[in-house]
A and B are shown apart, each in its own frame.
Chain A
Amino acid sequence: MGGKILLANIDVPGIRGYDVYRSNGGYTSVEKALREMTQAQVTAEVNKSGLRGRGGAGFPTGLKWSFLDRKSDKPRYLVCNADESEPGTFKDRYLMHHLPHRLIEGLIISSFALGVKTCYIYIRGEFKYLVGILEKAIKEAHLHGFLGERILGTDFSLNIYVHPGAGAYICGEETALLESLEGKRGNPRIKPPFPAFKGLYGCPTVVNNVETLAAVGPIISMGGEAYAMIGKGKSTGTKLISACGNIKNPGVYEIEMGLPVEDFIYSPEYCGGIANDKYLKAVIPGGSSVPILPADLILSTAKGEKRLMTYESLADGDFESGTMLGSGGFIVYDEDACIVRNTWNLTRFYRHESCGQCSPCREGTGWMEKVLYRIEHRQGKMSDIDLLVRVAKNIEGNTICPLGDAAAWPVASAIRHFRVEFEEHVLHPAAMLEKERHLKLKY
Chain B
Amino acid sequence: MLKVTIDNISIEVEEGTTILNAARMIGGKVVPPAMCYYSKLKGSGGKCRTCLVKVSHSSAKDPRPMGKLVASCSTPVQDGMVVQNLTSPEVIETRKGIVEFLLLNHPLDCPVCDQAGECDLQDLSFGFGMEETATEEERREFPMIDIGEKIKLHMNRCILCYRCVYTADQLTEKRLHGVLYRGDVSEIGTFIQHAVTNDFSGNMIDVCPVGALTDKTFRFKSRVWFLNPMNAHRDCPACSGKVTAWMFGNEIYRITGRKDRYGELEEFICNECRFEKKDINDWVIEGPRHIRRQSVISANHYEEMKKQSLIDPIAGTMESLT
Q: Which residue of A lies closest to B161 (CB)?
A: A359
Q: Which of B46, B76, B178 is the one whose CB lies under 8 Å from A358?
A: B46
Answer yes or no: B47 CB below 8 A from chain A CBs: yes
> In the complex, which residues of chain B have a beta carbon less than 8 angstroms from the beta carbon of A60?
none
Q: Are B184 and A363 in contact (CB under 8 A)?
A: yes
Q: Are A397 and B69 in contact (CB under 8 A)?
A: yes
> In the complex, which residues of chain B have a beta carbon less than 8 angstroms from the beta carbon of A365?
183-184
Q: DSSP class of A's interface residues: helix, strand, loop or mixed?
A: helix
Interface Cβ pair total, 8 Å cutoff? 95
Q: Are A356 and B184 in contact (CB under 8 A)?
A: yes
Give the residues from 91 to 110 in chain B that come closer than 8 angstroms, CB to CB, to chain A.
94, 97-98, 100-102, 104-105
Q: Which of A356, A387, A394 is the one whose CB lies under 8 Å from B183?
A: A356
Q: How far is the CA of A387 from the CA of B76 in the complex (A)?
A: 34
Q: Are B183 and A352 in contact (CB under 8 A)?
A: yes
Q: Which residue of B lies closest to A350 (CB)?
A: B183
Answer yes or no: A345 CB below 8 A from chain B CBs: no
Answer yes or no: B159 CB below 8 A from chain A CBs: yes
Answer yes or no: B186 CB below 8 A from chain A CBs: yes
Q: DSSP class of B's interface residues: helix, strand, loop or mixed?
A: loop
Give the residues from 349 to 381 in chain A that come closer than 8 angstroms, CB to CB, to chain B.
351-360, 362-367, 370-371
Answer yes or no: B21 CB below 8 A from chain A CBs: no
Q: Are A359 and B159 in contact (CB under 8 A)?
A: yes
Q: Are A362 and B69 in contact (CB under 8 A)?
A: no
Q: B163 to nearest A CB, angstroms?
A: 13
Q: Are B101 and A387 in contact (CB under 8 A)?
A: no
Please indicate which of the listed interface residues B98, B100, B101, B138 has the most CB atoms of chain A within 10 Å of its own CB: B101
Q: How far is the CA of A387 from the CA of B100 in the complex (A)?
A: 12
* Size category of the binding interface on chain A: 20 to 34
Q: Are B179 and A356 in contact (CB under 8 A)?
A: yes
Q: How far is the CA of A352 from the CA of B98 in the complex (A)?
A: 20
Q: Are B71 and A366 in contact (CB under 8 A)?
A: no
Q: How far is the CA of A206 from the CA of B162 in the complex (A)?
A: 28
Q: A190 to nearest B CB, angstroms?
A: 4
Q: Are A359 and B102 in contact (CB under 8 A)?
A: yes
> In the complex, which residues of chain A have a beta carbon less than 8 angstroms from the beta carbon of B179?
185, 356
Q: Are A394 and B94 in contact (CB under 8 A)?
A: yes
Q: Are A400 and B98 in contact (CB under 8 A)?
A: no
> In the complex, which residues of chain A have a beta carbon less than 8 angstroms from the beta carbon of B160?
356-357, 359, 362
> Which 7 pairs from chain A and chain B are nearest by CB?
A394-B97, A366-B184, A356-B186, A354-B183, A363-B101, A190-B46, A370-B137
30 contacts between A and B (CB under 8 A): A170-B182, A185-B178, A192-B76, A351-B183, A354-B182, A355-B182, A355-B183, A356-B179, A356-B185, A357-B47, A357-B162, A358-B47, A358-B48, A359-B50, A359-B98, A360-B49, A360-B98, A362-B186, A363-B104, A363-B105, A366-B183, A367-B101, A367-B135, A371-B137, A387-B134, A390-B97, A393-B97, A394-B97, A394-B98, A400-B47
Residues of B within 8 A of A (CB): 45-50, 52, 67-69, 71, 74, 76, 94, 97-98, 100-102, 104-105, 134-135, 137-138, 140, 159-160, 162, 178-179, 181-186
Residues of A within 8 A of B (CB): 168, 170, 185, 190, 192, 351-360, 362-367, 370-371, 387, 390, 393-394, 397-400
